[in-house]
Amino acid sequence: MGILEKIAEIEREIARTQKNKATEYHLGLLKAKLAKYRSQLLEPTKKGEKGEGFDVLKSGDARVALIGFPSVGKSTMLSTLTKTESEAANYEFTTLTCIPGVIEYQGANIQLLDLPGIIEGAAQGKGRGRQVIAVARTADLVLMMLDATKPNVHRELLERELESVGIRLNKRKPNIYFKQKKGGGLSFNSTCTLTRCSEKMVQMILHSFKIFNAEVLFREDCTEDEFIDVVTANRVYLPCLYVYNKIDQISIEEVDRLARQPNSIVVSCNMKLNLDYMLEALWEALQLIRVYTKKPGAPPDFDDGLILRKGVSVEHVCHAIHRTLAAQFKYALVWGTSTKYSPQRVGIAHVMGDEDVIQVVKK
């Protein structure tokens, strides 16, 4: 019995088991087994055997993966936003490999990957699905292209495919501390009241992973699924934007309904509608900021800014300028939104804001 059959068997068992107090431990065990088999499916079995993917060199300040069913307008989107031409036609599976393009927006280079269409069962390797999903795991953000003229089941199907290979969309990492130990059994603690998972459940899940000595601390009320995610430790938490294309073919009420859903954007690639707002939302979701540098006695260099992530400190800025700069750092002068007055003299731990200007003074 292969892994795929085992997974199908467990899924059937979960579907036909009623959910109540008596069966919750049985269901928890099944979910743990399912997670174990799925992670085996993702990782190559033999040592030294390299998983095949679309080898695309990571470049630019951020990486965005375009995912969607065949023929929803991914290639048109790539050709419209970037200088790269991706073949677009009226039949499915026009794109067969990964085509990279670069969006130049507010001084940042954002790498956009046009991936082949995903079909149902992609997680099991249908239609090059596994390579597509392997690339999606390395991205900083997922742009899910959906056809506004088709029913919303597509979104659920895609979410389920990505969920089954350990990509969690628009979710935080569960606040659970977990560490395997050499001996001493299981020590379990929680800093809040647990209503969705018990110590017995945690013990059973760990036993099914053949872990008998560990330290577990729940800092928030998590479900058993989230605990399994922490134990398997190969989950990727990515922000996701749902982009509904072809809005020129539906009624304005339907466009309004779609646009009001969380993390959703409505566009039309053919008529170039709302693409500027989509780039704005992309910038926000990637949490990028621009920091400009200034030499003493000279005006700031606004042409060549540093593109960094939100929440970076002056130390990160120093590393971005030159790797030896942080060691010679004395203090910095900062103009901008992150200071109380301009210029403010700050230390190495000061957190930068968007469009700040910095002048570093060395020892």
The CATH class, in words, for 288-360 is: alpha beta
Residues of the chain within CATH 3.40.50.300 domain(s) are 60-84+96-168+234-283
Task: Judge if pTM exceeds 0.85.
Answer: no
Q: Using DSSP bridges, classify how beta strands 240-245 and 141-147 pair: parallel, antiparallel or unpaired.
A: parallel
Give CATH 3.10.20.30 domain extents, the chain.
288-360
Is the pLDDT score of 300 beyond 80? yes
Note the pLDDT of residue 118: 64
Asked if residue 363 lies in contact with residue 328, where contact means CB atoms within 8 angstroms, the answer is: yes
Task: Give the residue with greater pLDDT, 197 vs 54.
Answer: 197
Q: State the average pLDDT for the chain.
A: 82
Q: Which residues pair with 268 in a beta bridge?
A: 273
Average pLDDT (238-251) is: 87
Sheet bearing 329-335, strands edge to edge: 306-309, 288-293, 356-362, 329-335, 344-346
133: how many CB neighbours lie within 10 A of its CB? Answer: 24
Conformational region of residue 353, where left means phi above 0, alpha means psi within -120 to 50, and beta covers everything else: beta
Q: Has residue 242 got a pLDDT over 60?
A: yes
Report the pLDDT averaged over residues 20-38. 82
127: confidence class by pLDDT, cuts 50, 70, 90: low
Q: What percent of the chain shows pLDDT beyond 70? A: 88
pLDDT at residue number 90: 57
243 compared with 136, residue with greater pLDDT: 243
In which band, very low, low, confident or very high, does the pLDDT at 165 lie, cut at 50, 70 and 90? confident
The answer to whether 353 and 314 are in contact (CB under 8 A) is no
Q: Quick one: pLDDT at residue 89?
A: 61
CATH class of the structural domain 60-84+96-168+234-283: alpha beta
Q: Which of 100-104, 123-127, 199-203, 300-304 has the lowest mean pLDDT?
A: 123-127
CA distance 197 to 300: 55
The helix/strand count (H/E) of the chain reads as 10, 16
Residue type, 140: D
Segment (H or E) for 32: helix 24-42
**337 within 8 A of 352, measured Cβ to Cβ:** no
DSSP 212-277: -SEEEEESS---HHHHHHHHH---EEE-EEEEEE-GGGS-HHHHHHHHTSTTEEE-BTTTTBSHHH
- Checking if the pLDDT of 343 tops 80, the result is yes
pLDDT confidence of residue 148: 83
